[in-house]
Structure 1
Amino acid sequence: MKFGKEFISQMVPEWQEAYMDYNNLKILLKEIIRFRQRTKPLVSTPSGLKRKPTLYRAFSGLIQRNIKSPNSGAGGDMEDQVVLVRAMQSDQGSSSSDHHQVKYRTNFLMSAEEGGEYELLYFRRLDDELNKVNKFYREKVEEVLKEANQLTKQMDALIAFRIKAENPNIDVESFDHKGEMRRLASEVAASTAASRASTPSGAKTPGSTRESGYMNVIEEFLLNNGGNLDDSSADIDVIELESTKSSIREEKPDSIKGTKPTPLQILNHVKLNNTLETPCSTVKGILKIPMNRELNLQGLKKVEGQLKQTFIEFYQKLRLLKSYSFLNLLAFSKIMKKYDKTTSRSAARAYLKMVDDSYLGSSDEVTRLMERVEATFIKHFSNSNRRKGIKILRPKSKKEKHRVTFSIGFFTGCATALLVALILIIHARHILNKKGSSQYMETMFPLYSLFGFVVLHMVMYGINIYLWRRYQVNHPFIFGIKQGTELGYREVFLLSSGLAVLAFSSVLANLNMEMDLRTKEYKSITELVPLGLFCLVLVITFCPFDIIYRSSRFFLLRSAFHCISAPLYKVTLPDFFLADQLTSQVQAIRSLEFYICYYGWGDYIHRRNTCKNFHVYQTFFYIVSVFPYWSRFLQCLRQLYEEKDPMQGYNGLKYFSTILAIVMRTAYSMSNGPHWQVLAAITSAIAAILSTYWDLVIDWGLLQRKSKNRWLRDKLLISHKSVYFGAMILNVLLRFAWLQTVLNFQVSFLHREALISIVASLEIIRRGIWNFFRLENEHLNNVGKFRAFRSVPLPFNCDEDEDKDE
């Protein structure tokens, strides 16, 4: 793979605009090549010379000696120097070593030559790219340094919290921290002296080894704290801290005073944040009931888990920053080597020296901070087990397994064969023309159509994942999925094909038992086949064992529970995204209600469908139809309450209009009255128009008149604009699929249940198309704001004036 493609593939997707524009610089180099080809044609090789001309160049020797004159700079002798690089201060009075205000400029000394303007433009663009990358990297490093200071305070509070949890009876105010340190140090000194006395001279003892370890801790402590012996932010043991104190107490007995609270007194300055909101905390917040935010010793594990996740995310930020620095440095090196090769000059050495001296090449804050984070995480969150800690901090990317691809092909082939067999059996035995076929379609077809809806939705989601990966949409980051646990499109296709095989096998088993004379009399047992498949799917979904992608299953169940419990939980993108998916599965949710009615009320024994005759069933038929939209409506109200964003209120009105439309259409389907038909048509038209406008303008970000791409966005991931216009037209057409229900279209060769299932499948396909463009727009918004990190709430709220305490 060429470096240009590899460079793009290794980029952080949200930072693409902040990387060095390697391709544009290559275009400028090609302009230089084309100019030289026009002005200086290539010398043709003599016909008798078959070898390359480079093989006849003078031999430069096996040992090369670089001879420099005393006055030569980084670029060689003045007569051979091509560029003169320098750093300029944007603000007067700034120190020359201050990278914050430095901008780099290159003077091209050969601009008077023919075609020199091309090379001059190249260096101007190259300087702009260096300044852009340098500025971005510096800003991000400053951000992580500020966050590191916050994490230091959080660790101080956690350590004090642990001490208090292990010794609940300790009084924070009267605890003599220094006395306790001296007592522990004296015990260690006594044990060390005893071990030395019992050991022959010249022999190494554990005490001597520990003493040398103490010296290293002393040096680290003094460097990190600037001589502040009482700084509780130092990450060392209690005994090591006292050893550090005693080693320099003779030099500075009373000259140093602490500037931070002692480890236990810091508990007076912190409170627990309400980071993991529960329904109880939400209700208390609405009713203005004061919540206890004081430290609760029982919440230690929860606090440790939150802070552990914060450290993991922070370490990922540092890794991305380090990768950003490395890739850009490599890109500058590659492009300058290409320049030297293209122009036969020697400018790379001088320019790359300037790059190495810049903040991008000389700053080591990220590397040192990574080492410190690793040491802290290993010690405090992995029980000093380095292998375990590094495994958590550096999760390996999932490897594509050949058995997954093989299994997809196998299950897809089986599902196709079963489908063909089912069609042939129905056609050969004329099942649709037999007596009782209508009853079969009204009872068994809704039971099995549930699995068809789920399989179709999974197939569309698998296609979405494939397209997101192809166009570098960082969907795991957007959804907040833990790195290394996200499902690829192959895994989704595997699950969907496996479920399809089970569903088709169940249908064929049901038909064979119905047609076989030996099993025809076991009618009730025959009807239990779809229920058995449904129970199997439920068992797999809720299985607590680490099989069949447990992390993904639990992630889905957690988001589904948040949708059901809306608006009691804080709304996140996975929650409302799943709620939007459920709005396209109304017919599948109705099938779930039919399962409960058909098997719960015993209709399967008599093989008849009497559910619609019960008022309870009719009432719940309305409820389950509007439930996904109602959940989404409540989520919009929660976001409106928290974010004070009026757009969330307008979005809630859109869902409320859809709720009215569904109620009217359901009422019309149940009664077939002409007045219900008129109301259903009016409310459905209003809801469809509002939803279509919201899809195209808000969710997709399209239909922008002033955009450089007419009626589209300024930035598009797909180069073919016709794809967007085709998706908009298809979205409008599929949005009006409700016309079949209102106008009561009938197809002679299709049963009413089959027609309803086809319309429901079209809505699922529309939702699959919506998914791609919705996440594309979210990704572009993240790119515009350079958001590549997941924000993790901190467990402690530290007082701002804690540093004033002495």
Structure 2
Amino acid sequence: MMMRAENTIANLTERIDLLRSYSRLNHLAVAKILKKHDKVTRIGLSQVLMPEVSSQPFYDLKRLDALDDRLQTLIPPTNPSEGDQQFLKRLRYFREHMGGGHSKMLRGFYVGVSVMLMIDIIVLVCIPHTNPSFDEAAFFASLPPFRFVFMSTLALWGTGWAMNVMETYSVNYLFLLDCDPNIEVRSDTLFNIAALHTSLFILFFGLYVVDYKFAIFGDHEYYVAYPAILLFFWLVSMCWPHDVFRLRYRKGILLSLWRTIKAPFGGSVTFADNITGDVLTSAVKPLQDLALAFYFFSAPMDIARTKTENHPFLMPLIAFLPYWFRMMQCLSRWWETRETRHIWNFGKYLCGNIMVVVTALPLSEFPFFSVYTERLVWVFVYCLSSMYMYCWDVGMDWGIVSFSTTDHTGTFLSREHMLPRWMYGAAAFTNLIGRTTWALTLMPAHTVLKSRIGSQVLRTVVAGIEIMRRAQWFIIRCEFEHLTNASKYRSLLWVPPLISKEDLHATRKRMKPLFTVNVKSIAVDPSWGIKDTAVAAMNSVRSRGESYAP
């Protein structure tokens, strides 16, 4: 009997929370519709109607709060002791982090095996070759297509990890990014796609290394087939229809990318476009590798061997454009809101482009410049840009350190937070490490290390660190936006709860139509409006004696 009463109270409490969410969500929808109307017509209708909407009985949550308080009075007799509460807290933590243990164990096993296979491939790369026709220059010229696939796969793993963390701590990234509410793509979806790409990379890169260096399939000239086939399978897997990660969702990503690219020509900037622009700034090296891959397949091998990375115009342009897009987004946001913070954000990306320019220009050949002066300019711009971006990360994008003179200046994590406190400290430290290597993604690798092997290793490591740093940044950026609406992309502060994939399936099963209407049986006058048509439909339902199914 006691168990049944507890279950009833829990169910009622859950229903009250759902009603609160529905009320706030409807209020948010009306506010967004009126805001869009005012933006188009410039009438200011929201200033007149929103106070009236907020005063309606259906938005008044006092009755729900009173009912919730009455339910809470029934709970104290069954409340656990302080020790039991600590036990339940640990049990809840264990359930959240260890749930789905079978799939997590398999995923961990797969990642471990993949890492060991990659280490084996690295060892094979370091072993002296036995193929008499092996050409070291041609071998390194073929690395960009392999590295592009590897970095895109690492980005999938990083995005899946970020989604998994936000799903664990109920950060509603789907709502913040304006995703389809019915979307079923979750972290497991990206993990599965990343696992497929990882397997393809290990297979074809491993075969390429052992065949080209050790001629296990004999002496031939078809080694270029390995990166070509890998890129082909990568492209097919990205375009292949998927039951969960559907083509229209991938089209939405491309549309966000297109809005980011056309930011210099105007247009409203959404939070998703903001994230897309920032991701592009972290994808400089992979984008350069993609361009080098096209050059590798289109140019003769004797040219590709010597000029794969010697593009004094193309490589700096690819590094320059993502920061240019973000600069234009910041100007668009400033024009729309007139907030000074967007000008400061513009300056952050301007520093990034200055870094691109000073490393691309041969400053030592300019008058009054020497090699020493050139390196001094590099170091100065490098330190300025890195500190500027790091302070913006922890202060403005994450809000974990306040630089305000009126709000806990210099204090760490004085705001409300959803993640464990230690996670913010770890993120601040690792982000500092990532920012110190960030500028290296904008500099040609051969300017840092003259060794061909060293420059390739540096390029790969730095690009990988930047991708994982961006995934970590994405988690806390969404969490901060969820709690504070810091960038003011939303009309209201409230964010609906994140619904898991299992809950989404259960909700669909419970959903039933309130009533069904045979439209052909309703006589509708063409001159009627929406209200008259709706009344006719309701009268038709009543005349047939149909009832409203709960």
* TM-score normalised over the length of structure 1: 0.47
SS in structure 2 of the partner of residue 507 of structure 1:
helix
Partner residue, 2:157: 459
Partner residue, 1:788: 495
2:74 to 328, 337, 344: 337
- Quick one: structure 1 residues 748 and 9, their matched pair in 2 at CA, closer, same or farther if it must change by over 3 Å? farther
Partner residue, 1:79: none
Question: Does 2:324 match 1:587?
Answer: no
Tell me the distance in 2 between the aligned counterparts of 1:694 and 1:148: 29
Question: Does 2:238 match 1:541?
Answer: yes
Question: Does 2:122 match 1:415?
Answer: no
**Aligned residues of 2:185 and 2:244 also touching (Cα < 8 A):** no
Quick check: 467-476 or 678-687, which moved more? Answer: 678-687
Partner residue, 1:346: none
**Aligned residues of 1:137 and 1:325 also touching (Cα < 8 A):** no
Give the alignment of 1:718-757 within 5 angstroms.
Answer: 718-720=419-421, 722-737=422-437, 751-757=454-460
1:490 to 175, 188, 212: 188
**Aligned residues of 2:172 and 2:482 also touching (Cα < 8 A):** yes
Q: Which has the larger radius of gyration?
A: 1
Partner residue, 2:312: 618
Partner residue, 2:417: 716
**Aligned residues of 1:668 and 1:680 also touching (Cα < 8 A):** no
Letter in 2 for 1:471: Y
Quick check: 470-479 or 408-417, which moved more? Answer: 408-417
Tell me the distance in 2 between the aligned counterparts of 1:660 and 1:592: 23
**Deviation of the 1:759 alpha carbon:** 1.7
SS in structure 2 of the partner of residue 526 of structure 1:
coil
**Aligned residues of 1:636 and 1:648 also touching (Cα < 8 A):** yes
- Quick one: structure 1 residues 665 and 719, their matched pair in 2 at CA, closer, same or farther if it must change by over 3 Å? same
**Aligned residues of 1:664 and 1:680 also touching (Cα < 8 A):** yes
Partner residue, 2:356: 662
Partner residue, 2:389: 691
1:560 to 257, 261, 266: 257
**Aligned residues of 1:476 and 1:486 also touching (Cα < 8 A):** no
- Quick one: structure 1 residues 710 and 408, their matched pair in 2 at CA, closer, same or farther if it must change by over 3 Å? same
Tell me the distance in 1 between the aligned counterparts of 2:33 and 2:383: 55
Give the alignment of 1:310-349 within 5 angstroms.
Answer: 331-339=68-76
Tell me the distance in 1 between the aligned counterparts of 2:481 and 2:125: 46
Partner residue, 1:80: none
Letter in 2 for 1:658: G
- Quick one: structure 1 residues 421 and 330, their matched pair in 2 at CA, closer, same or farther if it must change by over 3 Å? farther
Tell me the distance in 2 between the aligned counterparts of 1:629 and 1:486: 32
- Quick one: structure 1 residues 341 and 601, their matched pair in 2 at CA, closer, same or farther if it must change by over 3 Å? closer
SS in structure 1 of the partner of residue 74 of structure 2:
helix
CA-to-partner distance for each residue in 1:199-249, whole Å, 9 max, x for gaps? xxxxxxxxxxxxxxxxxxxxxxxxxxxxxxxxxxxxxxxxxxxxxxxxxxx
Partner residue, 1:678: 376
**Deviation of the 1:589 alpha carbon:** 0.9
1:760 to 453, 460, 463: 463
**Deviation of the 1:542 alpha carbon:** 3.9
SS in structure 1 of the partner of residue 412 of structure 2:
coil
**Aligned residues of 1:485 and 1:551 also touching (Cα < 8 A):** no
- Quick one: structure 1 residues 518 and 686, their matched pair in 2 at CA, closer, same or farther if it must change by over 3 Å? closer
**Deviation of the 1:758 alpha carbon:** 1.0
CA-to-partner distance for each residue in 1:31-51, whole Å, 9 max, x for gaps? xxxxxxxxxxxxxxxxxxxxx
- Quick one: structure 1 residues 700 and 508, their matched pair in 2 at CA, closer, same or farther if it must change by over 3 Å? same
Partner residue, 1:627: 321
Question: Does 2:334 match 1:636?
Answer: no
Tell me the distance in 1 between the aligned counterparts of 2:236 and 2:187: 23
CA-to-partner distance for each residue in 1:301-350, whole Å, 9 max, x for gaps? xxxxxxxxxxxxxxxxxxxx99x8998677445422235779xxxxxxxx
**Deviation of the 1:631 alpha carbon:** 1.0
**Deviation of the 1:484 alpha carbon:** 2.5
Partner residue, 1:31: none
Give the superposed CA RMSD: 4.8
Tell me the distance in 1 between the aligned counterparts of 2:428 and 2:12: 30
CA-to-partner distance for each residue in 1:418-474, whole Å, 9 max, x for gaps? 4254245446x5349999574255312222111222222222221211111122111
- Quick one: structure 1 residues 333 and 445, their matched pair in 2 at CA, closer, same or farther if it must change by over 3 Å? same
Tell me the distance in 1 between the aligned counterparts of 2:203 and 2:347: 44
Tell me the distance in 1 between the aligned counterparts of 2:130 and 2:172: 48
CA-to-partner distance for each residue in 1:124-178, whole Å, 9 max, x for gaps? xxxxxxxxx9xx8999599489779989xx9xxxxxxxxxxxxxxxxxxxxxxxx
**Deviation of the 1:581 alpha carbon:** 0.9
CA-to-partner distance for each residue in 1:565-591, whole Å, 9 max, x for gaps? 223442111111011011111110110
Letter in 1 for 2:419: I
SS in structure 2 of the partner of residue 717 of structure 1:
coil
Question: Does 2:295 match 1:597?
Answer: yes
Tell me the distance in 1 between the aligned counterparts of 2:25 and 2:354: 52
**Deviation of the 1:517 alpha carbon:** 4.7
**Aligned residues of 2:172 and 2:495 also touching (Cα < 8 A):** no
Question: Does 2:224 match 1:527?
Answer: yes
CA-to-partner distance for each residue in 1:666-725, whole Å, 9 max, x for gaps? 3469999444322222222221121112111111112227449933232122343x4323
- Quick one: structure 1 residues 408 and 336, their matched pair in 2 at CA, closer, same or farther if it must change by over 3 Å? same
**Deviation of the 1:650 alpha carbon:** 1.7
* TM-score normalised over the length of structure 2: 0.67
CA-to-partner distance for each residue in 1:615-655, whole Å, 9 max, x for gaps? xx321111101111111111111212222222212211211
Quick check: 640-649 or 511-520, which moved more? Answer: 511-520
Give the alignment of 1:34-53 within 5 angstroms.
Answer: none
Letter in 1 for 2:202: F
Tell me the distance in 2 between the aligned counterparts of 1:469 and 1:9: 22
**Aligned residues of 2:259 and 2:273 also touching (Cα < 8 A):** yes
Quick check: 781-790 or 642-651, which moved more? Answer: 781-790
- Quick one: structure 1 residues 560 and 518, their matched pair in 2 at CA, closer, same or farther if it must change by over 3 Å? same
Tell me the distance in 1 between the aligned counterparts of 2:395 and 2:269: 22
- Quick one: structure 1 residues 701 and 593, their matched pair in 2 at CA, closer, same or farther if it must change by over 3 Å? same
Structure 1 stretches of 5 or more lacking a match? 13-18, 21-132, 155-270, 276-320, 343-399, 791-806
- Quick one: structure 1 residues 607 and 518, their matched pair in 2 at CA, closer, same or farther if it must change by over 3 Å? farther
**Aligned residues of 1:404 and 1:491 also touching (Cα < 8 A):** no
Give the alignment of 1:261-300 within 5 angstroms.
Answer: none
Partner residue, 1:473: 171
Count of residue pairs the alignment pairs up: 443
**Aligned residues of 2:147 and 2:286 also touching (Cα < 8 A):** yes
Tell me the distance in 2 between the aligned counterparts of 1:338 and 1:580: 47
**Aligned residues of 2:400 and 2:415 also touching (Cα < 8 A):** no
Partner residue, 2:516: none
**Deviation of the 1:597 alpha carbon:** 1.3
Partner residue, 2:275: 577
